[in-house]
Structure 1
Amino acid sequence: MSLSSQAIPPLTGPRPNRPRPHGEQKPHTPLRPMWFCRADGQPWPCPEARLRLRHEFEENMPGLSIYLTGMFYEATKDLYHLNPHDGPTPRELYERFVAWGPSRKPAVEPSEVAGRA
C-alpha cells in the first residue's frame, strides 16, 4: 500500500475560486494541500494573487477579510496535517494569509507588548 493511499484527505472547506483568471492565463489559485500558486509555484497568495484579490474585492473590503480568514483557516488545517512537527508557525501563516489584507496590522510578539507597559 502506498503512502499516498494511507493519508487522510483534507476536509472540504471554502472553494478557493479567487482570484479568477483573466484570458488564457493559468489562475493564481492555491494548489491544496501544499498551498502553492497554480500559476507560478510561489506560496499562495503570491504577489499576483494579492493584486487580483484586491482588485476583485475593491468594493467589498470586509468580504476580502472574510475570504482571507477562511483561507488562513483551511491552510492551517492542511499544512499542519502535512507537516505537524516543523510546519509554518501560526504567526507566519497569519502574516502570509491575513496581515496583508485591508486594515490589518502585523502580529505582535507578546514580549513586545509587555515591554511597552
Structure 2
Amino acid sequence: MESFSTRAAPPASGPKPNRPASFGEQAPHTPTRPMWFCRVDGQPWPCPEARLRLRVEFEGALPALTIYLAGMLYEAMKDLFHLNPHDGPTPQALYERFVGWTPYRRPIVEDHK
C-alpha cells in the first residue's frame, strides 16, 4: 500500500537566511559550547570576526544586538562557571567580552538639565 509520504512532493528548500551576501559561504564564527571558543579561529567567542558579523547582521537594531548578547552572556556564565567554579572568568570580564563592546549602551542615570 502506498502511503501519503511517498506520494507527497519533497519540501522546498525554504527562504534564504537574511544574512549579508559579502560573507559568502565561509564557516560561521559561532561558539563551541561549553568552552565558548569560536569554531573557526579558536579565540574566545565572540571573536573579532564574530563581532563584525554581528554588527552587520544587527545593523539598524543595535538594542536587539545587546539583548541577544546578554542572553549569550547568561548561557556562557552557566557553562563556564559549571566547568570551573573556582577560578573561571570574573563576571566583569565576561560582561566586557560579551556586552561591553556593543555600541548601544544607555546611561544608568539620565541627565535632567
TM-score by length of 2: 0.71
How much does 1:102 deviate?
2.1
**What is the aligned-residue RMSD (CA, Å)?**
2.0
- Deviations 1:32-59 (Å, cap 9, x if unpaired)? 0000000100000000000000000001
SS at match of 1:40: coil
Question: Quick check: 72-81 or 94-103, which moved more?
Answer: 94-103
Aligned to 2:88: 87
Q: Give runs of ≥4 in structure 1 deviating > 4 Å.
A: none
Q: Which residue of 1 aligns with 2:67?
A: 66
Partner of 1:48: 49
**Paired amino acid for 1:38:** R
Question: % of aligned pairs identical?
Answer: 74
2:100 corresponding residue in structure 1: 99
Segments of structure 2 that go 5 or more residues without pairing to the other structure are: 1-18, 107-113
- The CA distance in 1 between the partners of 2:85 and 2:54, in whole Å, is 29
Unaligned stretches of 5+ in structure 1?
A: 1-18, 106-117
What's the offset of the Cα at 1:23? Answer: 2.7
Q: CA deviation at 1:64?
A: 0.2
Mapped to 2, the partners of 1:72 and 1:20 lie a distance apart of 24
Distance 1:98 1:24 in 2: 27
Q: Is the 8 A contact 1:98 1:104 kept in 2?
A: no
> How many residue pairs were aligned?
87
The offset of 1:68, in angstroms, is 0.5
**In structure 1, what is the Cα distance between the partners aligned to 2:28 and 2:40?**
6
* Structure 1 residues 45 and 20: CA distance shift in structure 2, 3 A: farther
TM-score (norm 1): 0.69
Q: 8 Å contact 1:20–1:28 — kept in the other structure?
A: no
